[in-house]
Amino acid sequence: MRRAIYPGSFDPITNGHLDIIARGCKLFDEIIIAILVNPEKLPFFSIDERREMLGEVLGQIKSGSCQLRVDAFEGLLVQYAVAQQAEAIVRGIRAISDYEFELQMALMNRRLEPTIETVFMMPAEAYSYVSSRLVKEVFLLGGALDGLVPPLVEARMKEKVAPR
């Protein structure tokens, strides 16, 4: 049983994240999509909203025999990974600019917990410029999100800012 953690903020989940999950499914039997609980960041979606959305979106993708689970974690990622009996952390790398920070994190995580490997995966080129941060910016400025996030996510974003 090969289990990996795919950690992140997922605020919101993008099609780039889904692409990485689908690729990770070729390597692992189970992937835990783990949302970081970060009290310092003011998120667009609450942890519960992200959990619920991820569950729905992941239910719609074909993951074959790979199990997908959604969870949230606080504190050190490697401690969480050990507690979940995972052997790897999956991270997506879109461009060389991602690599520097991801390498730092991967090496720090290895120092903290040498038994956990970090696996870098490249998304399809079509998602190489897609990030949650840009998705939120484009959305808040009135731009279209089709092809960047699942339709359900765009709908939830619209609900969130709709006047009551």
Q: State the binding string over 53-92 for ligand PNS (x if CB under 6 A, else -).
A: -----------------------xx---------------
Tokens linked to 144: 């279209």
Burial environment of residue 21 by CB neighbours within 10 A (0 to 12, 13 to 18, 19 or more): buried
47: left (phi over 0), alpha (psi -120 to 50) or beta: alpha
Tokens linked to 103: 């390498």
Instruction: Tell me whether residue 70 or residue 162 sits nearer to ligand PNS (CB atom).
Output: 70
Instruction: Tell me whether residue 112 or residue 124 sits nearer to ligand PNS (CB atom).
Output: 112
The reply to whether 109 sits near ligand PNS by the rule CB under 6 A is: yes
Catalytic residue among 3, 46, 128, 132: 132
Whether cis (ω within 30° of 0) applies to the bond prior to 12 is yes
d(CA 12, CA 76): 22
Annotation marks residue 17 as catalytic? yes
Binding-residue total with ligand PNS (CB under 6 A): 9
The reply to whether 119 sits near ligand PNS by the rule CB under 6 A is: no
Catalytic residue among 2, 41, 158, 160: 41
Tokens linked to 5: 């953690």
Instruction: Tell me whether residue 15 or residue 109 sits nearer to ligand PNS (CB atom).
Output: 109
Binding site for ligand PNS (CB under 6 A): 7-9, 36, 76-77, 105, 108-109
